[in-house]
């Protein structure tokens, strides 16, 4: 939801994101809606959505191994993470899921297939690993298919570690994060 109470819903079968304003039963397509594919106006099995203060919509584009940003009113998105083919390099993602964006437009994404959490600062094409990246596993320094993530007001990162059936809390140094 955004600060106006609008609800954003990902439909990974259509594939699109719809916005439902408070009191309206009909949503409008704000992302995608042009069939499944890898063009900048398409998505392929979108998973998670994040809306920033400017009403830009960020979507984890699962089958395209990328995160897309759609500025309010745009007819196509821009790639802000991944889109270099599926893989485990710092320019790549593998089945991205949860995504959050801070006030500096830093994108943080749960890279499910690579068992890691990645960060892309604004305008860069190469991300960095902030959690995991040691292969899948159940140890405290490993993740197993992370799906969701969130930050609290103190900068702690919470990760839904799906394959391990747990939520892990990480203290991310704000100097290394921003």
Domains assigned to the chain: 48-171 (2.120.10.30)
Q: By percentage, how much of the chain surpasses pLDDT 70?
A: 97
Phi, psi of 23 (to 5 degrees): 85, 0
pLDDT of res. 173: 66
pLDDT of res. 130: 95
Higher pLDDT, 62 or 134: 62
Q: In this structure, what DSSP letter does residue 36 have?
A: B
State the Cα–Cα distance between residues 49 and 13, nearest whole angstrom.
15
- Residue 80's closest CA among 42, 126, 112, 34? 126
pLDDT of res. 103: 86
Which tens digit of pLDDT belongs to each residue from 10-19? 999 999 999 9
Please give the average per-residue pLDDT across 30-34, as a whole number.
96
Which tens digit of pLDDT belongs to each residue from 108-131? 999 999 999 999 999 898 999 999
Instruction: For residue 136, name the pLDDT band (cuts at 50, 70, 90).
Output: very high
Instruction: For residue 141, name the pLDDT band (cuts at 50, 70, 90).
Output: confident
Which tens digit of pLDDT belongs to each residue from 36-48? 999 999 999 999 9
Report the predicted TM-score, pTM, of the whole model to 2 decimal places.
0.93
What are the residues whose beta carbons fall under 8 Å from the beta carbon of 40, sequence distance 6 or more?
A: 68, 76, 77, 78, 79
């Amino acid at each position: 939801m955004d600060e106006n109470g609008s609800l954003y819903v990902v439909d990974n079968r259509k594939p699109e994101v719809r916005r439902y304003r408070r009191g309206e039963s009909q949503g409008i397509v704000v992302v995608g809606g042009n069939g499944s594919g890898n063009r900048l106006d398409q998505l392929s099995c979108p998973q998670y959505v994040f809306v920033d203060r400017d009403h830009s919509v960020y979507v984890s584009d699962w089958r395209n191994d990328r995160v897309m940003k759609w500025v309010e009113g745009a007819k196509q998105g821009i790639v802000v993470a991944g889109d270099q083919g599926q893989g485990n390099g710092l320019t790549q993602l593998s089945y991205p899921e949860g995504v959050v964006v801070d006030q500096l437009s830093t994108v943080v994404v749960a890279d499910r297939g690579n068992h890691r959490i990645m960060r892309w600062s604004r305008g860069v094409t190469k991300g960095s690993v902030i959690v995991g990246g040691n292969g899948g596993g159940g140890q405290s320094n490993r993740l197993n298919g992370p799906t969701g993530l969130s930050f609290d007001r103190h900068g702690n990162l919470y990760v839904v570690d799906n394959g391990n059936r747990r939520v892990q809390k990480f203290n991310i140094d704000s100097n290394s994060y921003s």
